[in-house]
Structure 1
Amino acid sequence: MFGLGVKLTALCVCLLSALPTLLGLEQDPVMLSVEEGSVAILPCSLVGTNMESKLFDWKKVGEKGEGKKDMFMYDAGSLRDSARSGQDQQFDGRVSHFQDELKHGNASILITKTKVADSGDYTCDFLEPSQSLLPIQTSHIKLVVFKTLRDRSGETKGAAPEPSIKILGPTADGTLLQCVVRGASPKPEVQCQDSEGKVIPAKEPQVTERGGSFDVILQTTVTKTGNYSCVATQKEINHQIFAETFVTVNDKVPEDCSSKVPEDSSSKVHIGWLFAVFFLGALSLAAIQLVLLLTKRITINFNKGCSWRNSPDEGTPDEKGTLSPSEQNGTKETAVMV
C-alpha cells in the first residue's frame, strides 16, 4: 500500500506540472536578442482580459541550480519594482511596465540599460489575486544580450570576432589544428570544417567566461591535406563567422634513424671494417710498387745521362785536333766519372 501511495502521489505531481501545457496555458518560448546597453521589451499578454485588477509576476530563471530571481510583479495596482519591495538587486531601477496597455491584457515589461548578465530565461505568470499556486497562464522568454564589436571605421563586425586558426604541428595521426574565438557574446559554437563543410571531430573545447563574454579554444587533428575552416556560430543572434587556412599533412612521420638499429647491424659493421682493411692494404701495395717503378726509371735515366771525360794530360779533340792514341785504339786507361 505504501508503494502504491508513493506512485499515486508522483502521478498527481506530474499531472499538476503538466496541467498548464495540457490546457494550452503554457506558451512556446519567445527568442529575443538585443545589443548590450539597449532596451529590451519582454512580451507577455492575456488576450481579452483587463489586467488592471489582475496579478502577473515576472521572474528570471536561475542558473547552476540557483532559484528564480524576483524581477517584477504587478498585483492589482501594487508594484514590486524596486529592491525595497523585494525585487532582485540586479534589476533595481531598470524594469517598468506599460500601464496604459493593461486594460488590453498587455503585461509586457521593459528593461533598460541591458547587460550581458541579463541574458537568460524569464517567465511571466498570470495568477489570481488570491495567490493561487496554479497560474492561469505562463509565458517563457529567452533573452540574449550581446556585445557588438566594431572596427576602426565604426562598421559592425558581429558579436563574435573572426576566429584565429593556427597549425600547431604534426602528430602521429596527422596535423594538429587550433581554433580560437575571443570576446564573443553570446557564447558561440565553434567547429572545424573541411572544404566540403563536413565537421571534423574535435576535443571538448576550452571555454572561459569574463563578464558575459566568452573565449573558446578548440583543437582538432586533421588527416588530409586541404583547406580547413574554423567556424563560430551564434544561433541566438543569427550570426556566423569563419576563418580558413590550408593545411599540409605528411603521409608518413619521419623516423629518427639514430634511434633505430637493425638486428644485423653488428655483422654489417664487421664486414665493413674487413672491407676497409682490405682496401687500404691493396692501396698500400700499389703505392709501394709505384715508388719502386719510379725509382728504377730515375736510375736508368741518370746512368744514361753520365758522360766520360779524358784525363787532363790527354786533351780533347777540340783542344788538340786529334784523338789520343788510347781513344784511337778503342781502349780507355783513365776515367773520371762526373
Structure 2
Amino acid sequence: MLGFKLPFSPLELLCLFFCLLTLSGITTGQDVVRKVVEVWSDVILPCSLSNKQDITEAVFDWKKEAQKDQRQKEVFFYDAATHYNNGRTGQSEEFKGRVSHFDDQLNHGNASIIIRNTKKTDSGNYTCVFLQLQIRQTFYIELVVVVTPKPVIWTLDATDVRSLLQCEVRGAFPQPEVEWQDSDGNELPAEEPHVSKRGGSYDITLKITVKKTDHYHCVVKQEDIKHRVTSETFVYISEKVCEDSSTEVMIGWSVFVFILGNVIFLEVKALLVLRKWIIKRRNNSLRQQGNGSDEENGPVQMEKCFM
C-alpha cells in the first residue's frame, strides 16, 4: 500500500455524486419544454411522472416565475383533491377561472394543466413541483403567447410612374418578420424596417416603392407557430407612361407652333394693313397736290384765250 488516503469515505462520495446529479437536473426533470401558442387560444402545460405513479393523494404546485417588476404567480395548487377550483385560496387573480387540471389522469401520474384564453401576459416560465414524492421533482415549461395583429397598408404617394406604400404593424409579440410580396408570392426589396418597442409589444413600419401594376401583399410572419397574417392592396401604374409623355410633348409643340403661327400671321396682316394705309395716305396727298396746281394754272390759260 502506498498510504494514500481519500479525502472522502465511499459513502460520502456516493452522497456527493447524488447531489451533483440532483443539481444537474438529471433526476429532477429540469429539461425545459417550450410551448408556443396564438393569443386567445387554449394551451396545455405538460407535467407527468415517467413512472405513471398515482398522484391522486399527492401534492403538486404550479407557479409562474417572477418577471420584471413582478412577483412569482400562483397558477394552480393541488393537495389530495383540494385545489384552487374547489375552495382553496391563494391563486393569483389573473389565473382565476382560466386554469384547470385533468382529474381523470391523476392516477396515471399526470399533473398537467390547461390555461384557457391565453393572454400575452401569460408568456413566461412556469414550474410544476411534486412536493411529497421520495425524490422531489420539478418540471420547467416556457410559454410564449404570440400576438400577430393584421397589418394596415397606406399609400403615401402615387404618380403615373410609381407608388410609395407603407405597411404598419402595431402591438405584435414577439417581434415578427414583416415583408412585402407581389401577387406571385415573391419577396420584394423594401426599405429598412422601423421597429419600436411599446409596453413589451413591437410596432413595425415597412415602406416600399413599386413601379408596376399588381396586387401587393404585406405579410406578418411568426415562424414559431408557422403563422402569418396578410393584407393586400392593388396598385395601378400606367403602362403607357412613355407614350403618354411623348404625346404630351407633341401636343405641347403643336400648341406652341399654332400660337406662333397665329402671332406671325397677325403681325404680317398688321404690316399689310399698315402698308396699305400708308400708300393710301400718300396717294391722297399727291392727289391733293395735283388739284392745287390745276387751280393755279386755270385763270392764266383763260387769260390767254381772251387775248
- For 1:168, the equivalent position in structure 2 comes to 156
Matched AA of 2:156: L
- For 1:44, the equivalent position in structure 2 comes to 47
Q: In the TM superposition, what whole-angstrom CA distance separates every residue of 1:8-30 from its partner, at most 9, and x where no partner exists?
A: xxxxxxx899722x568234434
Q: Is the 8 A contact 1:160 1:188 kept in 2?
A: no
* Cα distance in 2 between the residues matched to 1:65 and 1:247: 51
Q: Give the CA deviation at 1:71.
A: 0.5
Matched AA of 2:286: I
* Cα distance in 2 between the residues matched to 1:131 and 1:87: 26
Distance 1:200 1:63, change over 3 A: farther
Q: Give the CA deviation at 1:307.
A: 8.5
Q: Give the CA deviation at 1:107.
A: 0.7
* Cα distance in 2 between the residues matched to 1:83 and 1:198: 57
The answer to whether 1:231 aligns with 2:219 is yes
- For 1:101, the equivalent position in structure 2 comes to 105
Distance 1:229 1:83, change over 3 A: farther
Which of the residues 167, 179, 183 maps onto 2:167? 179
Identity of aligned residues (%): 25
- For 2:232, the equivalent position in structure 1 comes to 243
Q: Is the 8 A contact 1:191 1:200 kept in 2?
A: no
* Cα distance in 1 between the residues matched to 2:33 and 2:56: 25
Q: In the TM superposition, what whole-angstrom CA distance separates every residue of 1:215-244 from its partner, at most 9, and x where no partner exists?
A: 845143x46635654222244472331324
The answer to whether 1:123 aligns with 2:112 is no
Secondary structure in structure 2 of the residue aligned to 1:29: strand
- For 1:144, the equivalent position in structure 2 comes to 145
- For 1:204, the equivalent position in structure 2 comes to 194
User: CA RMSD of the aligned region, Å?
Assistant: 5.0
* Cα distance in 1 between the residues matched to 2:86 and 2:94: 10
Matched AA of 1:242: S
Q: In the TM superposition, what whole-angstrom CA distance separates every residue of 1:78-108 from its partner, at most 9, and x where no partner exists?
A: 5355896321111224322222311201111
Secondary structure in structure 1 of the residue aligned to 2:100: strand
Which of the residues 51, 59, 66 maps onto 2:63? 59
The answer for unaligned runs of 5 or more in structure 2 is: 1-19, 238-270
Larger radius of gyration: 1
Secondary structure in structure 2 of the residue aligned to 1:166: strand
Q: Is the 8 A contact 1:191 1:199 kept in 2?
A: no
* Cα distance in 2 between the residues matched to 1:332 and 1:179: 119
Distance 1:119 1:25, change over 3 A: same
1:232-271 equivalences in 2 (<5 Å): 232-235=220-223, 236=225, 238-246=227-235
* Cα distance in 1 between the residues matched to 2:21 and 2:283: 126
- For 1:300, the equivalent position in structure 2 comes to 286
